[in-house]
Amino acid sequence: MISVVIPTYNSSKFMPDLLESIVKQAVDNMEVIIVDDCSKDATVEIAKKYPVRIIQMEKNGGPARARNRGVKEAKGDIIFFLDSDVIVLDGTVREVKDYFEKNPSSSCVIGVCATEPLNKGFVPTYMAMFEYIHLMNAKDGKVSVFAPRCGAIKKELFLRVGGYDESYKGADVEDFELARRINREDSIFLDPKMLVRHNFVNNFNEAVRNYFKRAVMWIHLFLKDRQLDNAGPTSPSNGIAAVCSFLSFFSLFLIPCVPVVKYVFGTLVMIFLISNLKWWNFMRREAGLFFAVRALFLNYLLGIDIIVATVYGLVSYPLKK
């Protein structure tokens, strides 16, 4: 049996489209569990209009705790996690069922977000395409990350590794931390036929804040377990590009005083471009040259943001401990 587990908090504007997208492709032996984390809007009232089980948390505790509660209450042996701000594309629920039937030895699989996000605009489209191509490049279909916006795992494995760390109160890096423990026990596979459309951040300011926060927390997690990711936006190639963007930016201020630094700047920019060539070519083919050039500048600025966050993460980690 498949148990679809969805944590919600003030998700009323997403619920109709999400639940419609699930219900219309329901499969045999499937249940949908909504775990509401004390919403103050009409999330629960809307959910009651659909054939779903609703669990209302007594106290707001964050998505990690809500997902754990959903798994605890689930009847299925396969847990299919979804975020509340997605819609499930046709065939995805069936694909989850078929995947485990065809691959009985597999215990964990994630899908991908389609390159067309739910919200329109340059920044959300960039983020959707950026995440998509970095996951699709995973070697042998194995990934080191687990994305609860579209990820399925056998309940036995989830419980064996201890579920989500409930000390994470927001939508932070609780998914990365769980993936670390899953990878010590089993492999996480990517199935590109499992597709959702996701509501990404809306503009540049939101992207800067989101990247900074998650980068700080990812650095704390890295310092704790010393493990890199082989796929997704946190893969090493993106780290190299971020370092190059940061150093090249600040080398500009040294060129008037030390002219030879211009060669350093040129080298760093070249490495930045080479590191980003694969995803840039993908965006150029899919969205056009103008979009891809804008994406390169956005990536450069976000790289600076990430390295500033990394420095802050390195300094704050001892204080956090």
pTM for the model = 0.94
What is the pLDDT confidence band of residue 272, given thresholds at 50, 70 and 90? very high
pLDDT score for 321? 60
pLDDT score for 40? 96
Q: Which domains does the chain have, with CATH numbers?
A: 2-202 (3.90.550.10), 236-320 (no CATH)
- The residue among 149, 175, 150, 173 whose CA lies nearest residue 161 is 175
pLDDT score for 276? 94
Over residues 238-268, the pLDDT tens digits come to 899 999 999 999 999 999 989 999 999 999 9
- The residue among 215, 225, 81, 100 whose CA lies nearest residue 149 is 81
pLDDT score for 231? 67
| pLDDT over 70 (residue 120) | yes
| pLDDT over 90 (residue 226) | no
What is the pLDDT confidence band of residue 81, given thresholds at 50, 70 and 90? very high
| pLDDT over 80 (residue 294) | yes
pLDDT score for 137? 74
Over residues 29-75, the pLDDT tens digits come to 999 999 999 999 999 999 999 999 999 999 999 999 999 999 999 99
pLDDT score for 171? 74
* Residue 197 · residue 116 · CB < 8 Å: yes
Mean pLDDT across the stretch 95-108? 96
| pLDDT over 90 (residue 169) | no
Q: Which residues contact 221 (CB under 8 A, 6 or more apart)?
A: 173, 176, 177, 180
* Residue 158 · residue 188 · CB < 8 Å: no
- The residue among 154, 179, 158 whose CA lies nearest residue 104 is 154
What is the pLDDT confidence band of residue 275, given thresholds at 50, 70 and 90? very high
Average pLDDT taken over every residue of the chain? 94
pLDDT score for 178? 96
Higher per-residue confidence, 276 vs 137 = 276
Q: Which region, left, alpha or beta, applies to residue 299 given φ > 0 means left and ψ of -120 to 50 means alpha?
A: alpha
What is the pLDDT confidence band of residue 236, given thresholds at 50, 70 and 90? confident
